[in-house]
Structure 1
Amino acid sequence: MSLLCAARFETPCRINVEHSPESLHAHLELPDEIEIGPGDRVQVHGAPVVVPFGTSMVIDRTATVEVAGPLRRAWTRAAAYFDLAELYEVSFTAGRLA
């Protein structure tokens, strides 16, 4: 276990996207047994999602979850306390993590 990254693994995920007059959102759902904590990173694999106006989509993809190590988790909590950073990081990419 490293101080920055404790574990890295791939998992299926589901993306719910809506682009309508009522809402513009994208929600990422991971399997129930996976808990995301401060400093964790999630990278979703696949092409960018384009949703025409007035529609919604549900897309199944694969994601790589990188669990924060103790140093990154502590830094993220401290930074969030002082409103310096987001608690979680999610990115979408067509490539894969190295």
Structure 2
Amino acid sequence: MTNSYLHHQQPEFWTLQWPEALKRTTYVTTCTIEIQHDENGLHAHVSLDDDSILGPGDKMIVQGPLIRLSFGESCTLHRGVKIIRATALERLWIKVASYFELLELYEVSFTPGKLP
């Protein structure tokens, strides 16, 4: 593992002291944006150039002017990006809340008798 990878990882909630659980860290890095607007669809993919990993609750704000493409165009851009890391408390809340959101996707039905 590289030092940049270790620097950008958020420690687990239960290993932190209380004031550290409320700290939000931010940093600026660069990213590559690939945008395509054609008959197959409209999509944009953003990948961080320093290979840092975003976790639950992290926010990413791409810097620079608005990007507009006409139909049939595609482009690849390099821009700055501001990463706002979630606090350990926010991460814990998102992990707990995500289990309840997942339960909404389950559908259970009981049919009488045997299925053909």
TM bracket, shorter-chain basis = 0.7 to 0.9
Shift of 1:75: 1.7
Query: Are the equivalent residues in 2 in contact too, given 1:4–1:72 (CA < 8 A)?
Result: no
Do residues 82 (structure 1) and 100 (structure 2) align?
Answer: yes
**Runs of 4+ with deviation above 3 angstroms:** none
Query: Are the equivalent residues in 2 in contact too, given 1:14–1:58 (CA < 8 A)?
Result: yes
Do residues 44 (structure 1) and 55 (structure 2) align?
Answer: no
Do residues 26 (structure 1) and 44 (structure 2) align?
Answer: yes
Per chain length, whose mean CA-contact separation is higher, i.e. which structure has more relative contact order (CA < 8 Å, sep 6+)?
A: 1
Count of aligned positions: 83
Residues 39/2 of structure 1: CA separation in 2 closer, same or farther (3 Å cut)? same
Bigger helix fraction: 2
- Match of 1:68, SS state, is coil
Matched residue type, 1:17: I
Q: Which residue of 2 aligns with 1:63?
A: 81
**In 1, Cα distance between the equivalents of 2:99 and 2:88?**
17
Matched residue type, 1:3: L
**In 2, Cα distance between the equivalents of 1:81 and 1:47?**
37
Q: Identity over the aligned pairs, expressed in percent?
A: 35
Query: Are the equivalent residues in 1 in contact too, given 2:30–2:50 (CA < 8 A)?
Result: no
Which has more radius of gyration? 2
Q: Which runs of 5+ in 1 are unaligned?
A: 85-98
Do residues 17 (structure 1) and 35 (structure 2) align?
Answer: yes
Query: Are the equivalent residues in 1 in contact too, given 2:29–2:50 (CA < 8 A)?
Result: no
TM-score, length-normalised on structure 1?
Answer: 0.75
Q: Which runs of 5+ in 2 are unaligned?
A: 1-19, 103-116
Shift of 1:74: 1.2
